[in-house]
Copies of this chain bind each other. A is one copy, B any other.
Amino acid sequence: MSAAPQKLGVFGGGTVGGGIVEILQSKADHFKSFTGTTIDVSKICVRDTTKKRDFDLPPNCELVTDYDSILKDDSINVVVEVMGGTTEAKTVVFESLKAGKNVVTANKALIAAYLPDIEALIVELNGKNEHKVEFRYEAAVCGGIPIIRSMQSDFVGDEINMMSGIINGCTNFMLTEMDAHGKSYDDALKEASELGYAEADPTLDVGGFDARSKLKILMRLGYGVDVNEEDIAVRGITELTKVDFEYAKMLGGTIKLVGVAKRLPGDKLAAFVSPTYIDADDTLASVSGPTNAIEVISTNLVESTYIGQGAGRFPTANSCINDIVALAKGDTTPLPFNSKGSLTYVDDFESTFFIRFKYSDDLGITRQCGEICEKYEVSINSILQNPVTCRNDAAFVLITERVPLSNIKKVCDEIEQLDWCQGTPFYIPILRG
């Protein structure tokens, strides 16, 4: 147990930074009795020291504007990076580690982009220096859910076979509104923005890219595999329409934006971010609003689900605090973590699928669908067709048996060429299908 007083330099005095300072202040005695040492914020680096803050500056804590006043301060042994971004934050994190300081960050974008580089730096530093540095980033994925530590601690003797996560709060809020309250996409997005769940530019959320960054990190932790984000197939929620929810309800379930990474036979690994059909009795179906959830299917633990807040001042700050306290009591995470990974990433997987076709009425639709599916060896499980066909969003849904995604793509490409097919067929996987 480390008895060294923890002197923190915090980069960022915004929402999360303020939350961290507040918790450290209010729990100071408890942390001291728990860790045997003191945890004090020495300096907070901000852009503008005159800006009014929504938290009280701790005693003896200095607001600074230049990075070096923290980076070059040898009395500071822990750097907390909650400034965001990947340029200056990268400099801060790398320079802090090189200066022998432990680092805690909440920066998802930074971790998604540079985790292997950061780990390599730490391995190098800890290989040659007697003083070891530690790096923690619990808050970087799913704010208040302790999924990083769980991956680093609870699954070390386990074999993860599938991870499925609702890992973007904005889109889950929107889909809940669209499904449960029948709202339009535009209204749901407007409300998400008003409530602060959506970014000013919501593209990263609704396009599925934010979820993909998180999935990439989870894949690194859970499977020991580094994948280029761009290699993970992503479909956002922008193409979802009311009729999709209607058919999902007919099937007894709902549609959520889910990030999935699953082990395939032959040491392969597939992943995607996509709207996904989920049966109502699956726990993930009950995860509503901006809440996040991750379901892990594994050999030992069988099925584990972690549900919690994906963002917000105190959930995110709480995760940073857990990292800070773990450092104070001397816990270590040997790096590189989970280097056992020997899986090969592949851009194809088998699943049952939900395919929705918009159509104008015509003769021979079922026959043509049947022929094309047969040609690409796609077995049809069922066809759902709402009898109300006079509406302008007339659509039917085809549920397939378990088939490769690549075959589904071929079927959809070919059907899209047919006269009756309106727009691009919309396919989504069925969770656990």
How far apart sit A286 and B82, CA to CA, in the bound complex (Å)? 36
A114 on the interface (CB 8 Å rule)? no
Nearest-Cβ distance from residue A175 to partner chain B, whole angstroms: 15
Nearest-Cβ distance from residue A61 to partner chain B, whole angstroms: 18
On chain B, the residues within 8 Å of A154 by CB distance are 146, 149, 318-319, 322
Which of B34, B36, B153, B288 has a CB less than 8 Å from the CB of A156?
Answer: B34
Cβ-defined contact, A315 with B329, below 8 A: no
**Considering only CB atoms, which chain B residue lies closest to A324 in the complex?**
B157
- With contacts A157-B321, A283-B286 known, is A30 near B340, CB below 8 A? yes
Cβ-defined contact, B156 with A31, below 8 A: yes
- With contacts A153-B326, A340-B33 known, is A144 near B300, CB below 8 A? yes
Nearest-Cβ distance from residue A388 to partner chain B, whole angstroms: 28
- With contacts A31-B157, A157-B318, A339-B33 known, is A301 near B332, CB below 8 A? no
- With contacts A332-B1, A332-B329 known, is A306 near B305, CB below 8 A? yes
Apart from A144-B304, A146-B150: 19 A-B pairs, beta carbons within 8 A: A1-B332, A27-B157, A29-B340, A31-B157, A33-B340, A144-B302, A153-B325, A154-B322, A156-B325, A157-B321, A158-B318, A283-B286, A283-B307, A285-B286, A299-B314, A302-B315, A307-B307, A330-B331, A331-B331
27 residue pairs bridging A and B, Cβ less than 8 Å apart: A24-B157, A30-B340, A33-B339, A34-B337, A146-B153, A153-B325, A154-B319, A156-B321, A157-B322, A158-B318, A281-B286, A281-B288, A282-B286, A286-B286, A291-B303, A299-B314, A301-B309, A301-B314, A302-B315, A303-B307, A303-B308, A304-B306, A306-B307, A307-B307, A329-B332, A330-B330, A330-B331
Give the 8 A-B CB pairs with smallest separation, nearest first: A300-B318, A157-B321, A305-B307, A300-B314, A304-B308, A144-B301, A286-B286, A146-B154
